[in-house]
Amino acid sequence: MLPLEGIQVLDLTRLAPGPHCTMILADLGAEVLKIEEPGPPTGRRAQQAAGQPTEWKVPGIDRHSPFNALNRNKRSMGLNLKTDAGREIFYKLAERADVVVEEFRPGVAKRLGIDYETLRPRNPRLIYCAITGYGQTGPYRTQVGHDINYIAMAGALGIMGPKDGPPTIPHNLLADYAGGGMHGAIGILAALLARERTGRGQFVDIAMTDGVLTLLAASLSNYFGAGLIPQRGEGMLDGAAPFYNVYRTKDDKWLSIGAIEPWFYANLCKALGREDLIPYEFDTARWPEIRQIFQDIFRTKTRDEWFDVLSQSDVCVGKVYRYDELEDDPQLQARQMFIELEHPEVGRVKQVGISVKLSETPGQVRRLAPRQFEHTTEVLQSLGYSAEDIAKLRQAGVVR
């Protein structure tokens, strides 16, 4: 048994936050149906596809590739929601669904006639989750943006990077995946639990900016309580401290050190042969000097040699891996964080594993990403449409 077995999810999303949210739900057993716009890209989608640099168009990793983990455990159908017939099909699906997930700009779903207020009378138990940059309320609600903008407005970007340099952009992990996708999944799971008690669905309003702000709860507590404003590159956890830092090794690889506690710092100094530095852990005036000493010492051995030495000395240490090194790590292997599945066309396909480990009802990767529109006929047949009906809908451009 899977924990979300029987939960039906309609997925209207395309970009990172929504697909990541529904991947989490699908991995835990939900039946996720991707509703995709049929036909070739038009309007802004066409502009984006035409203007994409050639070097970005890497074979095998498009949205519909079996290697795309974000679409695993899902089905796909092509449905034109701008047509009356397409909306009618969607209404039938929504009447049976438990969850709808979308990431349109506020107001778009209403213009399409598929917003929560339209769907709720048809299915009072429906949970409708909208993931956007700034949420459904406030003066920025319709403003466009991407991860970099949301983490900037939430205060996260401003505390990342070296003291005398610009803020460091942390890929699109914080807003898209943590602030949006994960918070969306949390909100949906909470709403499903609440429905068990109330019998009613509800609207889940997820703003990526809000999610990032929540990630800063501890840091902001220091600001609210003590007026402390972190300065980039000057704090213990952002590069100023020699005991919480990264160091280049003899083989030009990198090692991370996190020896914050006095006993771990003492162990580090002993392993490096510099017990004389133990009394100065929190002497910030000496941090630059100590960091330079550590830099010189770490250049005397390879990354893996240092890892073996320090991990056996009870020091908080970690290798800074490249992607092509991850699969060989024994800890990640033991946690089954890399799996392989068989695909009928491309053979063995590697995927990242499932991070949530449930002892009684574990999640499962049951199938790889579907071909675009692969399940349209199957879904329409389940709604009672005949082969003749489906053919007419295809000819009219309603489905694909």
Q: Which residues are part of the catalytic machinery?
A: 146, 176
Measured CA to CA, the distance from residue 19 to residue 11 in angstroms comes to 8
How many angstroms separate the CA atoms of 387 and 300, rounded? Answer: 72
Do 230 and 219 form a contact (C-beta atoms < 8 A)?
yes
Quickly count: other Cβ atoms within 10 Å of residue 129's Cβ.
27
Sheet architecture: strand order including 317-319:
244-248, 254-258, 317-319
Please state, in angstroms and rounded to a whole number, the distance separating the CA atoms of residues 21 and 32. 11
Q: How far apart are the first and last CA of the chain?
A: 33
Cβ atoms 79, 33 nearer than 8 A: no
Length of the chain, in residues? 400
**Distance separating alpha carbons of residues 134 and 182, to the nearest angstrom:** 16
Backbone angles phi, psi at 33, to 5 degrees: -110, 115
Residue 348, phi then psi, degrees to nearest 5: -70, 130
Q: What is the DSSP letter of 314?
A: T
